[in-house]
Chains A and B, each alone.
Chain A
Amino acid sequence: MENLENSLERYFSYKTFRTGQKEIISDIMAGQHVLATLPTGAGKSICYQLPALLVKGGVIVVTPLLSLMEDQVKQMKQRGYSHITSLNTFNTEQERLTIIRNLHKYKLIFLSPEMLQNQNVLKKLMLIDISLFVIDEAHCISQWGHEFRPDYLKLNNVIVDLKYPTILALTATATPDVQKDVISQLASVKFKKHIYPMDRDNIALYVKQVDHHHEKDRFIIAVLERYNVPTMIYFSSKKETERVASIINQRFDQLNVAYYHGDLDTSDRLLIQQQFMENQLDVICCTSAFGMGINKSDIRLIIHYHLPTQLESFIQEVGRAGRDQLESVSITLISPNDHQIPQRLIESELPSLESVEMLWSEIELLSQSKLTVKVDTNEWAQRYNFSEVHLRFIKNFLEAYGILKYNKYIVSHSSIHEAKIAIINKIKERSRYKKHKLNELLNWLATSGCRRQRLYAKFQSHISPAKYQCCDRCGFDLFQWQPKQSGYRQRINDYLSQLKSVMIPFNEDE
């Protein structure tokens, strides 16, 4: 068998592995279960994409986010790898049935945790040879992880049903607490840990306090006047991405700026992403929806116009800068009362206590009339204003208590009241927890010590000293920064020559 480096070059055209990849892959290939934390941008996906090409059986990848799934499938297909599929709740019934029927033909299968609860899927998977079972974003298993997904808890049973294939649990951000929790939730698996530091020594951290959000606009203009480098500006509001993009656009004739958020239609989203990759855009004003699957190594500047809800997300977003290891900068702009935006976001992530009370009254009433009653849970969502996430959270609870069966029957049950108390406690606990996470971020902003030390302290014991400048607390002066500037790109405005360069990029005489 050829060595791993040769395979890497053959399939992915990389000459060397990045930190950790080879160690992790070697252990997996030796049948060892692995828990690995690798920082964002360190090439997590190679850790299972390469084994998928080398092992005999299939590889299952459980991943929580549809966009992550789709991005990876797309990337692999781009590389000409076609035995790959993704199975999720967004497939049409017909597509899903076709994929399930042909599941044995695929080498790499991306699944949402919910799909693994589908008995047809599980039965089919039990019939085929699974060499590797990957749990991506493994922090979702832990209720202390920043995005707990109850369905991840059921993975332990799935692993037993599949008769213990090799397990790879991967995550980008996991505090020691979360790591411990992941291991205890998957009690039947003995993990070998590969923990790699997430601190980034080439990114200087700068926090700018302003009195009013208009000042944020002015500050951004001042920065862009000075620096023309690939820049991302993060917002938590879609409207604001548009507003600031238009301000920048009006102010700078030569700068190419665009906004990006979840409401753009798919084709426009793809175009904007690719323009950024091809350096046709200098500045992108975006929500956190942008960035998944973006593999641009020379992003120089990340500005947070709004705050995310926790340090973990902040670290991930900042980590998109400077993957080429050159000097890069993160700027965080804060004005008074800025904490209210993430606070509101947190509140909207959980169902309100009143709506839960009302739903339970309905369930109690239903269960008194008959032993089993058919219900439409989507109607609940409408009646009580539950989002999809709310509804999943509630349904999981009802199922765990045996009150909801097969997604559509309410069974008369003695524990209805007990379940209500439990779910209300859970909501309160989650909300307290999320507020605590937000406070960690706010405390970091208020710190008087070195920002780098404080940002990563929770995640690792040793933090590398800054390779270039460190942070505003250590005397980093933003306007002393001297990155290599991009030139201004001119777009030809003659449709005939433009048409020719799009359709005939080669020299016709050759």
Chain B
Amino acid sequence: MFTFIILFCVERLKSQRSMASVYHILQGKRAAQTIQDANLYQLTDVFSIYSKLRRSQFDQVMNQLLQSGWIALDLDKHVYVTEEGKKYLTDHQGCFQIQYFNGATYAKIFELFVKRFSLTIQTYSNVVMHRRTFVPIIEDDATQQWVKRHYQIDQNDLKAYLVDLHESTKAFLQTIDRRSAQLFVDRLTGYQQVGLSVQQLAKKNNVSEHDIQMMLTLTYHRFLQYIEDRRPQSLLRFIDDELSLVNQHFMTNSAEKTYQLIRTGLTIDDVMAVRKLKRSTIEDHIVELAYALPNLNIETYISEVDFNKIAEVVRMNDNRKLSLIKSHLNDEFNYFQIRLVLARYQIKLN
């Protein structure tokens, strides 16, 4: 599955990006370039689906793909999918159900949800059996505090809550395929029953550890979608205080700060002075904002006439390489203006 996801990303990048861009998108780097790439090449759904992925692991997989001849590098070190790789993609079309990934939306709450959900099950099922000493499988303090807070409310009626939680979880699992459901359950830890590690799950299912990570993430994304749609009370609590994060703008923290300033009417020069940042950085932020906020007023930065001129060239050319667009326009406009149009154009397309 991981191979499929990588090939899928590479294919969408249209041999205009390096291997590192794929990594940053999957890993979920909150940098302007990565967010722009994810938007531009329609990869927001897989953004940040594998935040634990280490660069060395990624490189290893990419090397294997290069060696097997499914991907290759062009002279600019841009990566593309070979004919053989494309065949793999068509052959496995629909196999992995990656359409259910919802990376950009769930990037910030996905891990939080998994931690709270897992620790709640472990804690409640042990305590309900009068076993008060167990090693929590989730170590981070914030999650433990969160579970403790809820436990204090539920403690007199743990059984009832567990029954509810079980009902809702079961209902969800029955909407997905058997294999994913089994994997999901194998991972859970409860009273006298410890979940399997990723390594063990990989062996059991005869796939790679990366595949397991992706399968689990996919199932949890579907779970989150299910909770948002059906809103079962016993599950909603895991995210309700963080629901704001779901809809939080898909942007870097630094861009968010810039946004707060330009909203008050500051110009690029003003923001540069206030934030002690370079012009190019502020411009990056504005491009990022244009992607994230469809209603952002960009007329301050580019006139309607200019916008239309650039948009025309973009529309006529499938290639989204900035330098090409710039030369098509006889170098009349700078990169900032072109990127701004691309950002807006991309949004209008959708």
Chain A residues engaging chain B, CB cutoff 8 angstroms = 74, 78-80, 249, 258-259, 264-268, 270-275, 278, 280, 493, 495-496, 498-506, 508
Contacts and interface: CB of A to CB of B under 8 A. Distances in A.
A500 B181 CA distance: 13
B190 A502 contact: yes
Contacts of B125: 502-505
A267 B137 contact: yes
A503 B189 contact: no
B197 A264 contact: yes
B138 A267 contact: yes
Contact of B185 (A79, A495, A508): A495
Contacts of B121: 502-503
A32 B129 CA distance: 43
A181 to B, nearest CB: 36
Contacts of B162: 503-504
Given A264-B199, A505-B129, A280 B194 contact: yes
B128 A506 contact: yes
B165 interface: yes
Nearest to B187: A271
A499 B166 CA distance: 8
14 contacts: A78-B132, A259-B199, A267-B139, A270-B135, A271-B137, A271-B196, A278-B193, A498-B185, A498-B186, A499-B185, A503-B162, A505-B125, A505-B129, A505-B192
A160 B166 CA distance: 58
Contacts of B197: 258, 264, 267-268, 271-272
Contacts of A508: 159, 163
Contact of A505 (B133, B181, B190): B190
B232 interface: no
Contacts of A275: 194
A74 B133 CA distance: 10
A361 to B, nearest CB: 33
A92 B196 CA distance: 30
A503 B158 CA distance: 11
A274 B163 contact: no
Interface in B128-150: 128-129, 132-139
Contacts of A503: 121, 125, 162, 165-166, 169, 188, 190
Interface of B: 52, 121, 125, 128-129, 132-139, 159, 162-163, 165-166, 169-170, 173, 178, 181-182, 184-186, 188-200, 203
Contacts of B166: 499-500, 503-504
Closest 7 CB pairs of A and B: A502-B190, A268-B197, A503-B166, A505-B191, A495-B185, A495-B182, A274-B194
B173 A499 contact: yes
B128 A495 contact: no
Nearest to A493: B182
A506 B190 CA distance: 12
A196 to B, nearest CB: 27
A97 B345 CA distance: 48
Contacts of A272: 197
A495 B173 contact: yes
B169 A499 contact: yes
B193 A502 contact: yes
Nearest to B178: A495
A506 B159 contact: yes
Counting chain A CB atoms within 10 Å of each CB, which of B186, B190, B199 scores highest?
A: B199
The secondary-structure label for the interface of chain A is helix
Contacts of A505: 125, 128-129, 190-193
A75 to B, nearest CB: 8
A110 to B, nearest CB: 15
A504 B203 contact: no
Contacts of A268: 197-199
Nearest to B166: A503
Given A249-B203, A495-B182, A498-B185, A78 B133 contact: yes
A270 B137 CA distance: 6
B44 to A, nearest CB: 26
Nearest to A494: B182
A259 B199 CA distance: 9
B139 A274 contact: no
A74 B135 CA distance: 7
A140 B166 CA distance: 51
Contacts of B133: 78-79
Counting chain A CB atoms within 10 Å of each CB, which of B178, B182, B185 scores highest?
A: B185
A267 to B, nearest CB: 6
Given A268-B197, A268-B198, A505-B129, A495 B181 contact: yes
Contacts of B203: 249
A502 B139 contact: no
A278 B122 CA distance: 14
Given A80-B132, A499-B170, A503-B166, A266 B139 contact: yes
Given A495-B184, A495-B185, A501-B193, 16 more contacts: A78-B136, A249-B203, A266-B139, A270-B139, A278-B192, A280-B194, A499-B173, A502-B125, A503-B125, A503-B165, A503-B166, A503-B190, A504-B125, A504-B162, A505-B129, A505-B193
A74 B137 CA distance: 11
Given A503-B166, A506-B129, A271 B185 contact: no
A258 B198 CA distance: 11
B189 A271 contact: yes
A104 to B, nearest CB: 20
Nearest to B133: A78
A499 B188 contact: yes
B135 A274 contact: yes
Counting chain A CB atoms within 10 Å of each CB, which of B121, B135, B173, B195 scores highest?
A: B135
B229 to A, nearest CB: 21
B150 to A, nearest CB: 16
Nearest to B192: A278
Nearest to A293: B135
A499 B190 CA distance: 10
A488 B223 CA distance: 34
A259 B197 CA distance: 11
A495 B163 CA distance: 16
Nearest to B181: A495
Contacts of A496: 170, 173
A272 B138 CA distance: 14
Counting chain B CB atoms within 10 Å of each CB, which of A271, A272, A503 scores highest?
A: A503
A67 B2 CA distance: 33
Contact of A258 (B132, B188, B199): B199
Nearest to A272: B197
Nearest to A273: B135
Contacts of B190: 501-503, 505
A451 B203 CA distance: 40
B194 to A, nearest CB: 4
Contacts of A249: 203
Contacts of B132: 78, 80
A274 B189 contact: yes
Contacts of A498: 185-186
Nearest to A267: B137
Nearest to B114: A267
Nearest to A269: B197
Contacts of A270: 135, 137, 139
A274 B137 contact: yes
Contacts of B200: 258
Nearest to A505: B191
Contacts of B136: 74, 78
B175 to A, nearest CB: 13
A496 B125 CA distance: 16
Nearest to B52: A265
A495 B179 CA distance: 9
